[in-house]
């Protein structure tokens, strides 16, 4: 029985995943590489990192797909994706990285780092008011593995936090909101809005002019989910109009962000090159291999994707 490693990975990434997966795989499973010699009909498992569309359709005995990424939007958009169970990556190390990133961005915005950076560019020495975290309300869109963990960490720092999900959820110390009514309530109270939604047909273009209009004037945005959540022109207009004060963006419609894109030079936007939380082969390979063992044993796998829902 073979497990295939396939994806849009450079040589070093391929080598790291190969080494860690080989070590972690259960006995009886052997790892083969998409660009190496292998018998396609022997492949029952695929470890995938954004594989080119159409490629998985060549494996007619495929039984289980384990994504090495947390987000599966690109994978699910493959029209030839085989109809087998798919798991996304749920890795405590990735979650920890995302928590650290969200806390860093939210606290930087709260402590007015962008305003001081603009002052520095002008050589301006001016001390601003310093409200405390308890006075800065944070709204988190997407209240799953990553959103709920970030919410707990921010609440522990005394930020009043609200989280929004599709179905009702409950997290101690956090206002948990859901559905259409929940979103209006969350937006009206978000001095800083963090996006951690999965990209689905329902959430594409969600961060638009209408949504920004529901935020308090001068709110700030952190997008660490997917670029296609954001309507870029609406963001620029909201920043120009002062409806939004600042945006920290980790993800973009086109990645790498083209060098002539206006975001690069906008003084109210910080650009990060999709680094909020990597999948680290050291930890992720163990989790991916554990899911293969669970699948083989007929036990529940972690992060099973609901293809209807799109995440
Ligand atoms: P989860 O599937 O665990 O959580 C998704 C959350 O979004 C759930 O709370 C879900 O609601 C909610 N949701 C989905 N659709 C809707 C909707 N239409 N309306 C309201 N709520 C909705 O995902 P993760 O937390 O693991 O990951 C979130 C995303 O983060 C990934 O899909 C990926 O795009 C992005 N990501 C970005 C990284 C980066 O480096 N920038 C790294 C890793 C991930 P419910 O609870 O009801 O299901
Ligand atoms: C992911 C990502 O989805 O890095 O894992 O964006």
pLDDT at 1: 81
Rounded CA-CA distance 108/199 in Å is 26
Closest ligand to Cα 182? 1
Distance 67 CA to ligand 2 centre (A): 10
pLDDT at 21: 98
The atom number, within ligand 2, closest to the CA of 94 reads: 5
Rounded CA-CA distance 98/106 in Å is 12
- Whether residue 64 has its Cβ less than 6 Å from ligand 2: no
pLDDT at 18: 97
Catalytic (active-site) positions? 226, 274
pLDDT at 139: 98
Rounded CA-CA distance 144/165 in Å is 7
CB contact set of 196 (below 8 Å; sequence gap of 6+):
98, 102, 140, 141, 142, 143, 144, 146, 147, 150, 224, 225
Pocket test for ligand 2, best of 75, 146, 277 (most atoms within 8 A of CB): 277
Q: How many residues does the chain have?
A: 311
Q: Which residue has the tokens 């590489």?
A: 33
Distance 216 CA to ligand 1 centre (A): 24
**Closest Cα to atom 7 of ligand 1:** 142
DSSP lists the bridge partners of residue 86 as 65
Distance 118 CA to ligand 1 centre (A): 33
* Cα diameter, the chain: 68
Rounded CA-CA distance 286/301 in Å is 13
**Closest Cα to atom 4 of ligand 1:** 144
Rounded CA-CA distance 274/14 in Å is 19
pLDDT at 152: 98
Task: Going residue by residue through the chain, which has 311 residues, state the pLDDT in tens, using 9 for 90 and above.
Answer: 899 999 999 999 999 999 999 999 999 999 999 999 999 999 999 999 999 999 999 999 999 999 999 999 999 999 999 999 999 999 999 999 999 999 999 999 999 999 999 999 999 999 999 999 999 999 999 999 999 999 999 999 999 999 999 999 999 999 999 999 999 999 999 999 999 999 999 999 999 999 999 999 999 999 999 999 999 999 999 999 999 999 999 999 999 999 999 999 999 999 999 999 999 999 999 999 999 999 999 999 999 999 999 99
- Whether residue 69 has its Cβ less than 6 Å from ligand 2: yes
Give the strand pairing for 30-33 and 2-7.
parallel
CB-CB neighbours of 137 under 10 Å: 20
DSSP lists the bridge partners of residue 164 as 141, 177
Rounded CA-CA distance 278/68 in Å is 10
């Amino acid at each position: 029985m073979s497990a295939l490693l396939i994806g849009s990975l450079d040589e070093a990434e391929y080598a790291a995943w190969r080494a860690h997966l080989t070590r972690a795989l259960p006995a009886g499973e052997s790892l083969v590489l998409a660009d190496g010699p292998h018998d396609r009909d022997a492949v029952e498992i695929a470890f995938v990192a954004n594989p080119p569309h159409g490629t998985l359709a060549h494996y007619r005995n495929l039984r289980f797909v384990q994504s090495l990424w947390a987000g599966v939007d690109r994978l699910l958009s493959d029209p030839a994706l085989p109809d087998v169970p798919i798991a996304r990556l749920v890795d405590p190390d990735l979650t920890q990285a995302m928590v650290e990133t969200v806390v860093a961005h939210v606290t930087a915005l709260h402590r007015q780092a962008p305003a001081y950076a603009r002052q520095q560019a002008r050589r301006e020495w001016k001390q601003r008011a310093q409200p405390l975290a308890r006075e800065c309300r944070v709204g988190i869109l997407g209240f799953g593995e990553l959103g709920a963990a970030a919410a707990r960490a921010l609440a522990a720092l005394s930020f009043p936090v609200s989280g929004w999900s599709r179905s009702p959820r409950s997290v101690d110390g956090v206002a948990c909101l859901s559905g259409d009514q929940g979103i209006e309530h969350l937006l009206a109270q978000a001095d800083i809005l963090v996006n951690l939604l999965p990209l689905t047909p329902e959430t594409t273009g969600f961060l638009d002019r209408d949504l920004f209009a529901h935020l308090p004037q001068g709110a700030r945005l952190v997008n660490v989910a997917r670029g296609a959540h954001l309507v870029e022109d609406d963001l620029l207009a909201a920043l120009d109009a002062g409806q939004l004060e600042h945006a920290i963006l980790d993800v973009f419609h086109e990645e790498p962000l083209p060098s002539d894109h206006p975001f690069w030079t906008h003084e109210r936007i910080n650009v990060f090159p999709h680094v909020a939380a990597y999948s680290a082969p050291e930890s992720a390979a163990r989790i991916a291999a554990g899911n293969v063992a669970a699948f083989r044993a007929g036990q529940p796998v972690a992060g099973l994707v609901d293809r209807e829902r799109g995440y």
